[in-house]
Amino acid sequence: MSARSDITCAECTRADLVRAVAGRGLPSIEPGMPLPAGTGLTRRSFVAKSAGLALAVYGAGRLQLFDEGIANAASGPQGPILVSVFLQGGADALSLLYPDGDPLYHTLRTQLAVTGGTQFTEDPRLYWNPALAPLATLHDEGKVTVLPAVGYDHPDQSHFTSRHFWEVGATDPHLLTGWLGRYLDATGSPDNPLQGLSITGSLEPSLATTKVPVAAIDGPNQYTFGAQGVWGSVQNRMLDAMGALGSVHSKDPAFLTAANVTKQADRLRRQLLPFAGGTIKSPVPYPDGNDGFTTGLQGVAAMISAGLPLRCVALEASGSYDTHAGQTAALTPALTTTAASLFSFQRDLEARGIADRVLTLVWSEFGRRAQENGSGGTDHGAAGTAFLIGTRSTGTAVGEFPGLASLDPQGNLKATSDFRSVYCSLLEQWLKFDAERIIPGAGKFQRYTLVK
Amino acid sequence: MQPASLAPTKAEVGVPVYGGPFEVAQAERLLWRAGFGPRPGEAEALAKLGLAGAVHALCYPGDEKFVGPPPHDDKGHALAPFDAWGEDHCWWLDRMVRTSRPLVERMTLVWHDWFATSNEGVGSQKLMIQQNQLFRSHFLSPFDQLLLRVTANPAMLLWLNGTQNVKEAPNENYGREMMELFTLGADRGAYTEEDVRQQARSLTGWQNRWRNGLGNYDFHFDAAEHDTGMKRVFRKSGNFDWRGSCKLCVENPAHASFFVGKLWSYFVPTAPDSRTAAALEALYRQGYQVRPVVQAILQHPDLYEGERMVKPPVVHIAGLLRRVGMGITTTDWAWIGAQSGQQLFYPPNVAGWDDTRWLDTATFRGRWMGVQRLLRDKSLDPSKPPAGLPAGAQPLLDSALKFWNKPTLSVGTNYQLYHFASRALADGKADWEQKTYPVLVENGLRQLIGVSPDMQTS
């Protein structure tokens, strides 16, 4: 990316950019007021004419990162964004779209068979879990592609190994970078941590890079730093010094790790200044309950709408899906919150006019054993369910539901689609990048039509 | 601590022993890796014992003593670790801060991560703390004995569905993780999916009762629920039960290398060379003893001559509290732990915390908030500049370093701190600014030192 040090030419776009966040806790601009924390040496203010709101963008010649990130985002092409949503623990495919029309279902699931859902229009054997009704609605609108049995050959039933495969985009236990991380390493910017954003409070492994910075936050409006008994210009100097500590050189890898994260935290803090301390207002309602997944998606929509340079985003869905016992009681609230949040997110993107820029991939490390166990739960299985959500998603299922009569020798659902094919197809059709450079052995994986 | 002359430890033949100077810097690193860093004077005292004496003192710590005032919540009440949210975290953090036996608490943390159990699935702080006491009292017990106790531990039985694993319908959860995460490791060819199923059968029979108001209780082995049929595990046939299941795991040829590699990784960030690994494995195989292996690792040259390690978040905070002689006076440490990526009793999953990924932009902010919270009770009030606060950037920096008990910082960090102080002071033009800014700068220096890359690693 070209670094633009000339910031005046970007005033209009920047004003557009920050319009969406105006009035959300930004300090008012009055003569003589102190500079807010960490904003460097000068302040520039703009008026977004169409909104009639006063806004502030902060920056200084010496501290260009924030300006550059904004300028790049505002002046560069509005690129596609991929959101990854992980259902942690191995979500039970036979409960998400449950095969009520398969004669063996009630034999294998005497206690756990789901009831009361609507039929899946593309396969009369399958029914939507009632908790996923919002996804059924989006599917009716042609915005959800279902993968009813996605996985890989020689499935591994370890949570950690199988998740690792999905995160790194290969069945290679030794690969350390995430598949999205490698994409960002190849195409990303050295000074934009927001390009790979994890909204789970810690970095999702799929975003792990080796070269370019990526970020983890709880929410866009909470990324602020203060200290007891430090304010005004001294606080600004202190926050500058925090960034400077990140540039201290060392030959020691651990020291460098700590220094690098300090530097990235400083850049991210500057990028998120427009959100600092405010509340996020959305044009559509989100589910109540303040679930981290719900507020995370809400923040993503607001950040994209504000023009912040997001490219790959990773979240973990509400709930835990490792349902060895008490499956129904655990699954229903988890799926309810997850599906309702995804639905609100989609409506939010549509209301903000940015729905065509975002695709959301929902996945889990594996599905669960077809035969229920004796604890009212299910043990680890093989193929699982994935969804690709968005207005640009084809909305046509990928891979057949294989049926319960043809389980693998361990009694697990066989995969009829491969996650590496999904990644290759998304890289080529959505992110417009050569999958061969990201996914090991990409050439041997089939491509699916995922984007319309 | 015992004088070195009493019983200097001797590392097993074959495991390299550090032969360089053992001075304050080396003693300090040892205290960080085997504990939570030094209190004022501790590194100096340990250095006097010499390497062998120092390691011996840590591994044979004597009776437990607590230094400093007992912990309390924000209102001054005693902690309620069994009942109040977050007070379990604070209860243990207090032990890390005040203990006279740092290796006991550090090994307890190792076992908490190794046999990672989360209260998310257990739902009882009391059972979690009982498990914690098990780890503490067996901090260097032979591993085969520890594994047996963990397998029968109520929190673990709940966490991995051990009491739901019955002969008619085996539940594989514990059987799988005991091999994958506790004893053998995944993707090493040590076991098959069929072994997982057979182990689950061997492990059947644990039961507990539940009563409204009391929760889960009466954990016991019920022979009627145990599958007494023949099982075939690791190509051996037998009527195995839970004890046999544990024994098969520790006797598996792939276990010693897994054990040594995992234990080593808690103390040294780079893998051991093959000679070291082989010698440690040989040492371990003599009765699955943990203590001699830990002693050998703590005397290894890689610990003293090798790279630094990122401190786990609770180690970072406990160490800062130790440095300034503060106790637990708030329960904020629980949510700060969560924000920093380590809330005790809530590891992210059964694999424990990922020691290679402690630091990202979110957990960095958690650490910043931890330092900020610690300093809240110690910060200087700008409206009342204290008498004796020096003027000038370097004296203020010296004062802030003294506040933290004089940590050794890199040249680059020292320079940036000085640079901050001098520029911030130069901004003060008006009279009141010139009076106030030194106080603000001193507070800022303390904050920056606490989160510096130097203090986050050891």
**Per-residue pLDDT, A30:** 28
Residue A194 has pLDDT above 80, yes or no: yes
- Verify that B30 and B120 share a domain, yes or no: yes
B361 near A CB under 8 A: yes
Describe the crossing of helices B242-251 and B193-202 by its angle, rounded to 10 degrees.
140
**Per-residue pLDDT, B184:** 97
**How many C-beta atoms surround the C-beta of residue B88 within 10 A?**
25
Average pLDDT, stretch A102-116?
97
Would you put residue B350 in left (φ > 0), alpha (ψ -120 to 50) or beta? alpha
Distance (Å) from the alpha carbon of A227 to chain B's nearest alpha carbon: 5
**Per-residue pLDDT, A29:** 28
DSSP summary character for residue B217? E
Average pLDDT, stretch B254-278?
97
Lowest mean pLDDT of A290-294, A414-418, B9-13, B269-273, name the range. B9-13
**Per-residue pLDDT, B387:** 84
Stretch 399-418 of chain B: residues touching chain A, C-beta under 8 Å: 410, 412-413, 416-417
Query: Confidence class of residue A69 from pLDDT cuts 50, 70 and 90?
Result: very low
Give a yes or no: residue B406 inside a domain: yes
Phi first, then psi, for residue B159 (nearest 5°) are -60, -45
Average pLDDT, stretch B229-241?
96
Give a yes or no: residue B394 inside a domain: yes
* B421: containing domain: 379-458
CA distance A69 to A52: 24
By C-alpha distance, which of A419, A451, A425, A424 is closest to A439?
Answer: A424
Residue A43 has pLDDT above 70, yes or no: no
Residue A70 has pLDDT above 50, yes or no: no
Three-state SS for B145? helix
Average pLDDT, stretch A315-328?
94
Residues in a beta bridge with A9: none
Residue B167 has pLDDT above 50, yes or no: yes
Distance (Å) from the alpha carbon of A183 to chain B's nearest alpha carbon: 19
Lowest mean pLDDT of A219-233, A405-419, B24-38, B310-324, name the range. A219-233
Q: Please check whether residue A412 is in contact with residue A367, taking contact to mean a CB–CB distance below 8 angstroms.
A: yes
Query: Confidence class of residue A316 from pLDDT cuts 50, 70 and 90?
Result: very high
Residue B328 has pLDDT above 50, yes or no: yes
Which of B360, B409, B417, B429 would best serve as a mutation to test chain A binding (most A beta carbons within 10 A)?
A: B360
Lowest mean pLDDT of A12-21, B308-317, B356-365, B383-392, name the range. A12-21
Mean pLDDT of the residues in chain A: 83
Residues in a beta bridge with A215: A197
- Verify that B132 and B279 share a domain, yes or no: yes
Q: Please check whether residue A204 is in contact with residue A363, taking contact to mean a CB–CB distance below 8 angstroms.
A: no
Phi first, then psi, for residue B99 (nearest 5°) are -70, 150
Average pLDDT, stretch A84-91?
96
A173 near B CB under 8 A: yes
By C-alpha distance, which of A118, A300, A101, A102 is closest to A199?
Answer: A300
Indicate the pTM of the whole model.
0.80
Of A161, A202, A246, the CB nearest to B187: A161
Per residue in A341-356, pLDDT (tens digit) is 999 999 999 999 999 9
CA distance B59 to B5: 15
3-state secondary structure B30-97: HHHHHCCCCCCCHHHHHHCCHHHHHHHHHHCCCCCCECCCCCCCCCCCCCCCCCCCCHHHHHHHHHHH
CB under 8 A, 24+ apart: contacts of A445-448: A445/A418, A445/A420, A445/A421, A446/A418, A446/A421, A447/A421, A448/A398, A448/A417, A448/A421, A448/A422
- Verify that B28 and B128 share a domain, yes or no: yes
ipTM confidence: 0.94
Average pLDDT, stretch A23-38?
27
Q: Please check whether residue A401 is in contact with residue A148, taking contact to mean a CB–CB distance below 8 angstroms.
A: yes
Residue B22 has pLDDT above 90, yes or no: yes
| Overall domain count for chain B | 2
- Verify that B386 and B296 share a domain, yes or no: no
The H or E element containing residue B416 is helix B411-426
By C-alpha distance, which of A391, A201, A204, A179 is closest to A299?
Answer: A201
Average pLDDT, stretch B97-110?
98
- Verify that B267 and B131 share a domain, yes or no: yes
Kindly give, in sequence order, each residue whose CB lies less than 8 Å from that of residue A77, ignoring residues fewer than 6 positions away.
none
**Per-residue pLDDT, A116:** 97
Residues above pLDDT 70, as percent of chain A: 83
What residue in B sits closest to A202 (Cα-Cα)?
B362
**Per-residue pLDDT, A127:** 98
Residue A14 has pLDDT above 70, yes or no: no
**Per-residue pLDDT, A306:** 86
Stretch 186-225 of chain A: residues touching chain B, C-beta under 8 Å: 193, 198, 201-203, 205, 208, 215-218, 223, 225
Query: Of B288, B305, B322, which one is at a domain's C-terminal end?
Result: B305
Query: Of B268, B289, B305, which one is at a domain's C-terminal end?
Result: B305
Three-state SS for A387? strand
A244 near B CB under 8 A: yes
Residue A447 has pLDDT above 90, yes or no: yes
Of A228, A240, A249, the CB nearest to B375: A228
**Per-residue pLDDT, B127:** 97
- Verify that B30 and B123 share a domain, yes or no: yes
Per residue in B395-414, pLDDT (tens digit) is 999 999 999 999 999 999 99
| Bridge pairing between strands A358-364 and A312-316 | unpaired
What type of residue is A231?
Answer: W
Give a yes or no: residue B238 inside a domain: no
- Verify that B271 and B392 share a domain, yes or no: no
Average pLDDT, stretch B90-118?
98
Q: DSSP H helical segments within A97-132, as ranges?
A: 105-108
Give a yes or no: residue B210 inside a domain: no
Residue B104 has pLDDT above 50, yes or no: yes
DSSP, residue by residue, A168-186:
HTSS-TT--S-HHHHHHHH
- Verify that B269 and B409 share a domain, yes or no: no
- Verify that B29 and B131 share a domain, yes or no: yes
- Verify that B47 and B131 share a domain, yes or no: yes
Residues of chain A contacting B417 with CB distance shorter than 8 Å: 241
Would you put residue B132 in left (φ > 0), alpha (ψ -120 to 50) or beta? alpha
**Per-residue pLDDT, B384:** 86
Distance (Å) from the alpha carbon of B443 to chain A's nearest alpha carbon: 6
Strands of the sheet with A384-389, listed across from one edge: A215-216, A196-198, A312-316, A81-87, A358-364, A384-389, A144-151, A417-418
CA distance B157 to B164: 8
Residue B46 has pLDDT above 60, yes or no: yes
Half-sphere exposure of B22 (CA within 13 A, CB side): 22
**Per-residue pLDDT, A42:** 25
Kindly give, in sequence order, each residue whose CB lies less than 8 Å from that of residue B89, ignoring residues fewer than 6 positions away.
B333, B334, B337, B343, B344, B345
Q: Both ends of chain B: CA-CA distance in Å?
A: 23
CA distance A437 to A451: 20
Residue B348 has pLDDT above 50, yes or no: yes
Average pLDDT, stretch A66-92?
73
Residue A50 has pLDDT above 50, yes or no: no
Highest mean pLDDT among A16-30, A164-178, A281-295, A401-415 belongs to: A401-415
Q: Please check whether residue B448 is in contact with residue A245, taking contact to mean a CB–CB distance below 8 angstroms.
A: yes
- Verify that B260 and B390 share a domain, yes or no: no
Residue A221 has pLDDT above 50, yes or no: yes
Average pLDDT, stretch B408-434?
96
By C-alpha distance, which of A421, A417, A366, A91 is closest to B193?
Answer: A366
Cα torsion angle, A177, A179, A185, A190, sign: negative
Of B176, B186, B412, the CB nearest to A249: B412
> What does the longest C-alpha to C-alpha distance in chain A come to?
76
CA distance A10 to A72: 9
Average pLDDT, stretch B199-203?
97
Question: Which has more pLDDT, A184 or A65?
Answer: A184
**Per-residue pLDDT, A220:** 85
A41 near B CB under 8 A: no
**Per-residue pLDDT, B13:** 58
What type of residue is A405?
Answer: A
Q: Do A248 and B410 touch (CB under 8 A)?
A: yes
Average pLDDT, stretch B83-92?
95
Residue A171 has pLDDT above 70, yes or no: yes
Distances in whole angstroms, Cα of residue B263 to Cα of each of A110, B183, B284, B293:
44, 11, 11, 9
The full set of domains in chain A, from first to last, is 8-76+224-271 (no CATH), 81-218+284-444 (3.40.720.10)
Residues of chain A contacting B457 with CB distance shorter than 8 Å: 252, 254-255, 257-258
A160 near B CB under 8 A: yes
DSSP summary character for residue A346? H
**Per-residue pLDDT, A77:** 58
Q: Do A229 and B381 touch (CB under 8 A)?
A: yes
**Per-residue pLDDT, A200:** 83
Q: DSSP H helical segments within A43-158, as ranges?
A: 65-75, 93-96, 105-108, 133-140
- Verify that B384 and B299 share a domain, yes or no: no
Distance (Å) from the alpha carbon of A296 to chain B's nearest alpha carbon: 14
Give a yes or no: residue B362 inside a domain: no
